[in-house]
Amino acid sequence: MWQPGQILQERYQLQKQLGKNAGRQTWLATDMQASPASPVTVKLLAFNPQMQWDELKLFEREARVLKNLNHPQIPKYRDYFSVDEREGGGLPWFGLVQKYIPGDSLKQLLDAGKSFTEKEVRSFAVEVLNILNYLHKLSPPVIHRDIKPSNLIWGKNKQIYLVDFGAVQDRAKAEGVTFTVVGTSGYAPPEQLWGKAVPASDLYALGATLIHLLTGTSPADLPQRRMGIQFKDKVRITSDLADWIERLVQPAPEKRFSTARQALDALSLSTLSPVLSGGQAGQEPAFYGDKRDNFLGGKGMVSFSDEEDLKLVLSMISRACISVIIAFYFGWYSLLFIGALIVQESHEKPANQNQNNCEVTCPVD
């Protein structure tokens, strides 16, 4: 239907098709009315007889929600429009325009055979959690409900962007009504499949996404035990990170972190554990299946995952030393001051005593 070079709304010139599925197309286009002309993403939805009404409602909801969002790692809303049947080849179309983010989705990178390091995965987790912290703190909270590798763009600037808000839930309008079941198998938590989503549902999807990045296998294809994804034997990461991810993907929402901020704080603390601990009995010293040089090159010493960890620990040690030195000098000068007062008082007492004795015993001329 649509071809490169076509112009929509006398403004958006289609350049390259980025994606296509039933009744939907995504295009890279040029906004010719912008100064200077700038690249945009145009999502098009065909209103055809086979389409379910819920699809249009979700598309319109995505546009409405995006219009009110303002976060540097969520592609900015530009426009929403409709195309009549005459121009749309016999079907009405709806269009959503957003700022274009040059880069590749994590799904594209996985399909190309890329392996992700623990450092990269930690960085992705921090960035997504900061985005979720922003979304979940809005009034009403915005729950994405479809976090997965294909909806995370790794930009050319090495930042992660969250896209595709077509499944987004506005909780203020969801209470007490029937939900449309959305999400993707393997990434959607159990409660979401029953039509209920909470902020912790996005955390589950993030955890499942991180598992996919670390294992190279979709979480839907990994073994499960009591509805929990079994992944620890298939990754080479620090035990603390593995435990943190395991909590994200707990089947019961109340066993996960309750907020993105809580998960972010726990992740920040977990970066110190491999540095300060050589591991527990029956486990590898700090890493699952990863051989690394120990600090100062010795065995049984403290292990560091990278140079940044070493710098962090040295900084902590130096601050602790400075605190001890300050406390020492403060205590020393306090003792000197108290000692001086005692000495002064001891000299004053005999003089006062002699004066009193003189007043009693000395004869008067």
Euclidean distance between CA atoms 317 and 322, whole angstroms: 9
CB atoms under 10 Å from CB of 37, counted, come to 11
Is 309 marked active-site? no
Query: Collapsing DSSP states into helix, strand and coil, what is residue 46?
Result: strand
Catalytic residue among 146, 164, 240, 309: 146
For the residues of 100-112, what is the DSSP string, one character each? ---EEEHHHHHHT
Place of tokens 């110190």: 272
Tokens of residue 171, six digits: 């909780």
238 and 273 Cβ atoms separated by less than 8 Å:
yes
Contacts of 355 (CB under 8 A, 6+ apart): none
Euclidean distance between CA atoms 1 and 14, whole angstroms: 12
Euclidean distance between CA atoms 208 and 188, whole angstroms: 8
Tokens of residue 113, six digits: 């055979």
Catalytically annotated residues: 146
